């Protein structure tokens, strides 16, 4: 993600999407580039209140066999890892951003040693991931699979599959788009208010641009956070890849994984969020 100072919010029509209720996933902030300290507040504000996926992943962990820890790939500052540890799961959190891992550890230590001792952090790029343990559950949450270049994805999936415990699972989610709809409307702009309970008024305008030739997308967030004395503004840009569901299914199969469960959640007329639960082939 990149930050540009002094940016103003551009005029935009009110959103036709209800993104403030917490029932719909917000656009992913996953990125092939690490975030900087100045962008942490927006990242946390966008993702923090929307925790329905945490509950789903926790429920999955409770029903997953094996004795190894949970592997949280692209963990960021611990949005999943810390709640997992609070519920008694050992977690290995992997991220390329050292600052994010430090924030994760600080958060865990603040809660207490019973949580901090359950978390191991590993700094690594997912495109070059080399695992050493075995895991009951591996997570590519927050559409993190969209941040992995298509050329590197088959190798990542094979590496994960080879380190799952017997009966273990890989769970991942991504945003699925109807490609004809993207071709007809490759640009989209909307606005939403971030739910807050601390007296801060926060609005974000998001602009999304799709490139079907490259199967990529770019989302730019124009954010303004207004308190009693001042307004803070930032522009963040995240680049990711458009996931082709058929290609992803073929890559999972090639890695020795079969799709055991699929859950879809409609976002709008051409977009849905997809959660896959995959098991290693017997």
Q: What is the pTM of this model?
A: 0.80
* Structural domain total, the chain: 1
Evaluate whether residue 255 is within a structural domain.
yes
Give the pLDDT score at 71: 96
The 10s digit of each residue's pLDDT in 92-119 is 999 998 988 998 999 999 999 999 999 9
Calculate the CA dihedral of residues 106, 97, 42, 84 and round it to 10 degrees: -50
Average pLDDT, rounded, for the chain: 81
Evaluate whether residue 132 is within a structural domain.
yes
| CATH of residue 267 | 3.40.50.150
Domain ranges, residue 85: 47-176+243-280
Evaluate whether residue 145 is within a structural domain.
yes
The 10s digit of each residue's pLDDT in 270-280 is 888 899 999 98
Evaluate whether residue 75 is within a structural domain.
yes
Evaluate whether residue 182 is within a structural domain.
no
Q: What is the full DSSP assignment across the chain?
A: --B-TT--PPP-PPPSS--SSSSSPPPP---SSPPPGGGHHHHHHHHTT--HHHHHHHHHHHT---SS-EEEET-TTTTTHHHHHHTT--EEEEES-HHHHHHHHHHHHHH-HHHHTTEEEEE--GGG----S-EEEEEE-TTGGGGS-TTTHHHHHHHHHTTEEEEEEEEEEEEEE-HHHHHH--EEEEEEEPP-SSS-EEEEEEEEEEETTTTEEEEEEEEEEE-SS-EEEEEEEEEEE---HHHHHHHHHHTTEEEEEEEEEEEETTEEEEEEEEEE--
Exposed e or buried b per residue across 149-181, where buried means at least 16 C-beta atoms within 10 angstroms of its C-beta? ebeebbbbbebbbebbbeebbbbbbbbbbeeee
Evaluate whether residue 10 is within a structural domain.
no
Out of 51-55, 207-211, 237-241, pick the least confident: 51-55
Evaluate whether residue 231 is within a structural domain.
no
Higher per-residue confidence, 131 vs 179: 131
The 10s digit of each residue's pLDDT in 29-82 is 444 344 555 555 445 544 444 466 788 888 888 888 656 799 999 998 888 899
Evaluate whether residue 68 is within a structural domain.
yes
% of the chain at pLDDT higher than 70: 79
């Amino acid at each position: 993600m990149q930050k540009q100072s002094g940016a103003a919010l551009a005029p935009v029509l009110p959103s036709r999407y209800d993104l403030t209720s917490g029932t719909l996933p917000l656009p992913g902030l996953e990125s092939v580039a690490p975030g900087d300290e100045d962008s942490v507040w927006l990242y946390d504000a966008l993702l923090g209140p929307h925790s329905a996926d945490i509950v789903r992943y926790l429920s999955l962990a409770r029903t997953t066999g094996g004795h190894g820890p949970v592997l949280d790939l692209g963990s960021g500052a611990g949005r999943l890892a810390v709640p997992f540890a609070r519920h008694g799961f050992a977690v290995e959190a992997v991220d390329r951003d050292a600052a994010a891992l430090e924030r994760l550890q600080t958060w865990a230590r603040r809660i207490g040693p019973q949580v901090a001792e359950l978390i191991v952090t590993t700094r690594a790029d997912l495109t070059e991931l080399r695992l050493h343990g075995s895991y009951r559950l591996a997570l590519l949450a927050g559409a993190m699979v969209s941040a992995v270049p298509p050329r590197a994805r088959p190798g990542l999936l094979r590496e994960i599959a080879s380190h799952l415990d017997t009966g273990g699972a890989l769970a991942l989610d991504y945003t699925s788009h109807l490609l004809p709809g993207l071709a007809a409307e490759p640009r989209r702009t909307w606005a939403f208010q971030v739910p807050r309970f601390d007296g801060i008024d926060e609005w974000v305008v998001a602009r999304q641009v799709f490139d079907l030739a490259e199967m990529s997308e770019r989302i730019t967030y124009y954010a303004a956070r207004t308190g009693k004395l001042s307004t803070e503004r930032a522009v963040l840009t995240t680049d990711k890849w458009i996931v082709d569901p058929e290609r992803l299914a073929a890559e999972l199969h090639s890695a020795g994984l079969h799709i055991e469960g699929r859950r879809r959640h409609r976002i709008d007329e051409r977009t849905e969020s997809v959660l896959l639960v995959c098991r290693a082939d017997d």
